[in-house]
A and B are shown apart, each in its own frame.
Chain A
Amino acid sequence: MNDTVAVARGVSWRVLHTFFTNPAFLLPSLAFPLFFFTAFAGGLSRVSQIPGFDFPTGYTAFQFVFVLLQSAAFAGVFTGFGIARDFESGFMRRLMLAAPNRSGILLGYSFSALVRWLTVASVVTAVALLARMKIGGGGVDLFALYTLALLLNLAGTLWATGVAMRLRTQQAAPVMQMPVFLLLFFAPVYVPLDLLQGWIHGVASVNPITPLLEAGRGFISGAPELALASFAIAAGLIAGFCFWAVRGLRSAEAAG
């Protein structure tokens, strides 16, 4: 068996085993997206009645896309927290020592982040469907929506991995989390971009998350827009953060 794949299998098995057998890890991962979904889609539903808000499938679907993308990005960030924890505890040294090919460590963490997010996404989707979310898009649209979220998950994981590999401490958590948090919330979270005014409109217009969010909302409503641009941005983020993560791994290797 290829060394990289073997290492990735081992690392992802351990992360997922710990995730699924420890409520302390599993429950917060599920609770936060559900909290956001309930708070935004439920508590702010009257926002959809403001003049100019014309999203066809309703406010629940409008917010569902944001929560889906947010959960994807944060599943990646939480994986970075786990990597930092492994550095602090010394377990990363065991992995570095046991792994003939250390790129497999990155691959293993990335794969486990993906599975973690798929679990969260399944629960959030089920809750959204129970809340009678309207879906205008077809199978291809929904596939595109989840693929886009998956790519964002990978980008988030690679970003946080790069930080964790460089700083190697759990105190780096804000460094991993804050930029992602800011990017997500400086996007048109509550209303479409056209309804934003002032500086927030300017920031949201140049925010790379905005096209992803708008494309995702286009997929769920069955009126795709910015599809190619959003996938190109996601691919670009992955390419950039992949380089960042691999350089981070080299930095960790050099530091011992």
Chain B
Amino acid sequence: MKSPLDNSIEAHGLVREFKKGPRAVDGIDLRVEAGEIYGFLGPNGAGKSTTVHILTTLLPPTAGTATVAGYDVVKEGPKVRKAIGAALQEAALDPFLTGREHLRLQTAMHGITGDERQRRSDELLTRVGLTEAADRKIKGYSGGMKRRLDLALALVHRPRILFLDEPTTGLDIQSRTALWAEVGRLAKEEGVTVFLTTQYLEEADVLADRVGIIDHGKLVAQGTPEQLKAEIACSTVEAVPAESAQRGALASVLEQFGEQTTGFGPGSVAVQLADSDGNLAEIVRALDGAGVVLSQLQIHEPTLDDVFLAKTGRHLEGSGDEQEQEQEHEPARA
């Protein structure tokens, strides 16, 4: 049993089965330390939200145990809910209420009244940049404004642990960056433990101290982004022959340097290099020696998507846009 002041999250053998459906969560073991930002990364339908629902006491597990802030999520639900804040994808806002009225509702439910309610509401509205829109009905808010209000609502009672379920889905870059900054500040300045689900690689990479990768309800990898990338260890070289007839020759040469891998562009051949040191010059020399003419040659540094690919055999869905933004890709032409 954890101390009541513990801000950690712990799960053992967590399972959630739905009637006539697969196991949405299938034996998850994880531990999130106090003050840590834990990124829970996975494609749509991987079991991220179900895990969050269990940890936030919205859904009882079919099997396994979990403690949040030292409290059992099944037996001590009220204590868990007092310790946590959560901004979930499916938790709607009331179109008939204004932003300030939502805060009034949330503060009332946590027993915050009078001057303290006013102070806390003003402080949070300022922090999420909604002061001017505070007295407008929600139906006039943009998606980004709703997300920011949702975050403010989750923070009303100064939770020790914050659950954010895909908080930046559908947000523009500016809103996303602002939200990242606020989440980072909460963890670093206020010591809030953050459990963040995302399908965005960049988000997990930028924000998370540690990342758990979930697929088909199972945790397939866990560690710091650096550790996970280091597991992949080596860069991947992707080349496209100038003539498709040379594809076989290209593959033969590249396989001298590593194991062929899939999931890259059509017509290209990709190998994960066996040697962690860069040997692009050798590859180019070997290709030149074999008379293979390339139209394109790229070297990819390991990303979390590579980790996902290595663990699951496929790319993370919905990460295409994010990959393009990542600076780790270094295109080069032979």
- Given A96-B58, A254-B60 in contact, is the A3-B97 Cβ separation under 8 Å? no
Residues of A within 8 A of B56 (CB): 97
Can you identify 30 A-B contacts, CB atoms within 8 angstroms?
A: A3-B82, A3-B111, A6-B108, A7-B109, A10-B105, A10-B106, A10-B108, A13-B104, A13-B105, A14-B105, A17-B97, A17-B101, A18-B94, A18-B97, A22-B96, A91-B91, A93-B88, A93-B91, A93-B92, A94-B153, A97-B81, A98-B109, A98-B110, A99-B109, A100-B82, A100-B110, A101-B78, A253-B60, A256-B53, A256-B58
- Given A6-B108, A18-B97, A22-B96 in contact, is the A94-B53 Cβ separation under 8 Å? no
Closest A residue to B58 by beta carbon equals A256
Report if B178 contacts A (CB, 8 A).
no
* Among B58, B59, B109, residue most surrounded by chain A Cβ atoms (within 10 Å): B109
CB distance from B63 to the nearest CB of A (A): 15
Report if B90 contacts A (CB, 8 A).
yes
Which residues 54-86 of B have a CB within 8 angstroms of A? 56-60, 78-79, 81-82, 86
> Bound complex: CA of A11 vs CA of B108, how far in Å?
8
Whether B92 and A89, one on each chain, are in contact in the complex, defined by CB atoms closer than 8 angstroms, is yes
Report if A134 contacts B (CB, 8 A).
no
Whether A6 and B111, one on each chain, are in contact in the complex, defined by CB atoms closer than 8 angstroms, is yes
Taken residue by residue from 134 to 173, chain B's Cβ proximity to chain A (1 for < 8 Å, 0 otherwise) reads as 0000000000000000000100000000000000000000
Residues of B within 8 A of A96 (CB): 58
Taken residue by residue from 274 to 289, chain B's Cβ proximity to chain A (1 for < 8 Å, 0 otherwise) reads as 0000000000000000
> How many residues on B have C-beta within 8 angstroms of the other chain's C-beta atoms?
30
Q: Which of B82, B93, B108 contacts A13 (CB 8 A)?
A: B108
- Given A3-B78, A97-B58 in contact, is the A90-B108 Cβ separation under 8 Å? no
Residues of A within 8 A of B108 (CB): 6, 9-10, 13
> Bound complex: CA of A22 vs CA of B137, how far in Å?
13
Whether A11 and B59, one on each chain, are in contact in the complex, defined by CB atoms closer than 8 angstroms, is no
Taken residue by residue from 235 to 256, chain A's Cβ proximity to chain B (1 for < 8 Å, 0 otherwise) reads as 0000000000000000001101
Which A residues lie at the B interface, using CB under 8 A? Answer: 1, 3, 6-7, 9-11, 13-14, 17-18, 21-22, 89-91, 93-101, 104, 253-254, 256
Whether B81 and A100, one on each chain, are in contact in the complex, defined by CB atoms closer than 8 angstroms, is yes
CB distance from A246 to the nearest CB of B (A): 15
> Bound complex: CA of A1 vs CA of B108, how far in Å?
10
- Given A98-B81, A256-B53 in contact, is the A90-B109 Cβ separation under 8 Å? no
Residues of A within 8 A of B58 (CB): 93, 96-97, 256
Which residues 164-186 of B have a CB within 8 angstroms of A? none
> Bound complex: CA of A97 vs CA of B161, how far in Å?
13
Instruction: Apart from A94-B92, A256-B59, list 14 A-B contacts with CB within 8 A.
Output: A1-B111, A3-B82, A10-B107, A10-B108, A11-B109, A14-B94, A14-B105, A93-B92, A97-B56, A100-B82, A101-B78, A254-B60, A256-B53, A256-B60
> Bound complex: CA of A256 vs CA of B58, how far in Å?
5
Q: Which of B88, B92, B96, B111 contacts A21 (CB 8 A)?
A: B96
Residues of B within 8 A of A91 (CB): 91-94
Total A-B pairs, Cβ < 8 A: 79
Residues of A within 8 A of B104 (CB): 13
CB distance from A243 to the nearest CB of B (A): 21
Residues of B within 8 A of A98 (CB): 81, 106, 109-110, 153
Residues of A within 8 A of B86 (CB): 97
Whether A90 and B81, one on each chain, are in contact in the complex, defined by CB atoms closer than 8 angstroms, is no
Whether B53 and A10, one on each chain, are in contact in the complex, defined by CB atoms closer than 8 angstroms, is no
CB distance from B48 to the nearest CB of A (A): 14
Whether A90 and B82, one on each chain, are in contact in the complex, defined by CB atoms closer than 8 angstroms, is no
CB distance from B154 to the nearest CB of A (A): 9
> Bound complex: CA of A6 vs CA of B116, how far in Å?
15
CB distance from A227 to the nearest CB of B (A): 38
> Bound complex: CA of A10 vs CA of B106, how far in Å?
7
CB distance from B246 to the nearest CB of A (A): 55
Whether B59 and A94, one on each chain, are in contact in the complex, defined by CB atoms closer than 8 angstroms, is no
Whether B91 and A100, one on each chain, are in contact in the complex, defined by CB atoms closer than 8 angstroms, is no
> Bound complex: CA of A97 vs CA of B106, how far in Å?
10
- Given A3-B78, A17-B101 in contact, is the A97-B91 Cβ separation under 8 Å? yes
Which residues 28-74 of B have a CB within 8 angstroms of A? 53, 56-60
> Bound complex: CA of A9 vs CA of B104, how far in Å?
11
Residues of B within 8 A of A94 (CB): 91-93, 153
CB distance from A68 to the nearest CB of B (A): 29
> Bound complex: CA of A63 vs CA of B93, how far in Å?
42
Residues of A within 8 A of B106 (CB): 10, 98
Closest B residue to A256 by beta carbon equals B59
Whether B96 and A90, one on each chain, are in contact in the complex, defined by CB atoms closer than 8 angstroms, is no
CB distance from A106 to the nearest CB of B (A): 14
CB distance from A55 to the nearest CB of B (A): 43
Residues of A within 8 A of B110 (CB): 6, 98, 100
Whether B92 and A90, one on each chain, are in contact in the complex, defined by CB atoms closer than 8 angstroms, is yes
Residues of B within 8 A of A100 (CB): 78-79, 81-82, 110
Residues of B within 8 A of A253 (CB): 60
Whether B90 and A90, one on each chain, are in contact in the complex, defined by CB atoms closer than 8 angstroms, is yes
